[in-house]
């Protein structure tokens, strides 16, 4: 008896999330989308909307969750790597990030637009970025200790540079043709690699592997 209503509520939540993605694909700014339009598109009542979401900020945060989950998984493959990886692997990582940016572009941009206006989201997202950037910096410190990254590298500012540049690059996807993504990813990877390791570094992790086998 109790399972049917749960199914209906879950279905209404999915319709709301699908409706906001559909609306954003038309190119409209999220800030200009009234809740009424979302309700009409999803065919739900106002009370149903607020049963699931506190406000539009909460809605776009939930809508963007699949993008962020997939994005951080891809990012972790580089920063949490356990196997030797080189510039081509870094370029591949960035290319996959761009693919996700293309796939979820309207929702991703709407989320960042809302972050600039919503204090709660700005605090939460800023806090997460700070933690992730610190994780990146810690990896660079480990690379320094392993003799892979230059001793005079500033891990904190380098990680910040990569975070800010990657965010800007994802936003710039709307202004560039998709056919250029692979080339741009390769150029971005080269800039990151040279910044982190210099022109003569072997694949990250390769030096340790060679040392341990000699």
Residue 84 pLDDT: 87
**Closest residue by Cα to residue 165 from 183, 192, 139:** 192
- The secondary structure of residue 204, as a DSSP letter, is B
Residue 55 pLDDT: 95
Q: Which residues contact 163 (CB under 8 A, 6 or more apart)?
A: 129, 132, 133, 136
Distance between CA 114 and CA 7 in Å, rounded?
Answer: 30
Q: What is the mean pLDDT of residues 83-111?
A: 94
Assess whether pLDDT exceeds 50 at residue 113.
Answer: yes
Burial of 151 (0-12, 13-18, 19+ CB in 10 A): exposed
Residue 194 pLDDT: 95
* 50-72 confidence digits (pLDDT tens): 999 999 999 999 999 999 999 99
Residue 174 pLDDT: 78
Distance between CA 144 and CA 141 in Å, rounded?
Answer: 5
* 139-176 confidence digits (pLDDT tens): 999 999 999 999 999 999 999 999 999 999 998 987 88
């Amino acid at each position: 008896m109790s399972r049917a209503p749960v199914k209906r509520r879950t279905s209404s939540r999915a319709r709301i999330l699908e409706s906001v993605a559909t609306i954003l694909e038309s190119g409209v700014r999220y800030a200009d989308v009234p809740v009424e339009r979302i309700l009409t598109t999803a065919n739900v009542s106002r009370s149903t909307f607020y049963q699931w979401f506190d406000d539009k900020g909460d809605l776009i945060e939930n809508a963007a969750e699949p993008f962020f989950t997939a994005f951080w998984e891809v990012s972790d493959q580089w920063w949490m790597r356990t196997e030797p990886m080189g510039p081509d692997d870094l370029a591949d990582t960035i290319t996959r990030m761009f693919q996700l940016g293309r796939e979820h572009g309207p929702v991703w941009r709407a989320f960042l637009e809302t972050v600039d206006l919503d204090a709660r989201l700005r605090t939460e997202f800023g806090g997460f970025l700070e933690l992730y950037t610190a994780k990146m910096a810690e990896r660079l410190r480990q690379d320094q200790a392993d003799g892979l990254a230059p001793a005079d590298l500033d891990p904190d500012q380098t990680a910040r540079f990569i975070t800010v540049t990657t965010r800007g690059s994802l936003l710039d996807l709307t202004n560039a043709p998709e056919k250029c993504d692979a080339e741009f990813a390769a150029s971005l990877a080269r800039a990151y690699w040279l910044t982190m390791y210099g022109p003569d570094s072997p694949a990250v992790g390769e030096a340790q592997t060679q040392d341990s086998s000699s």
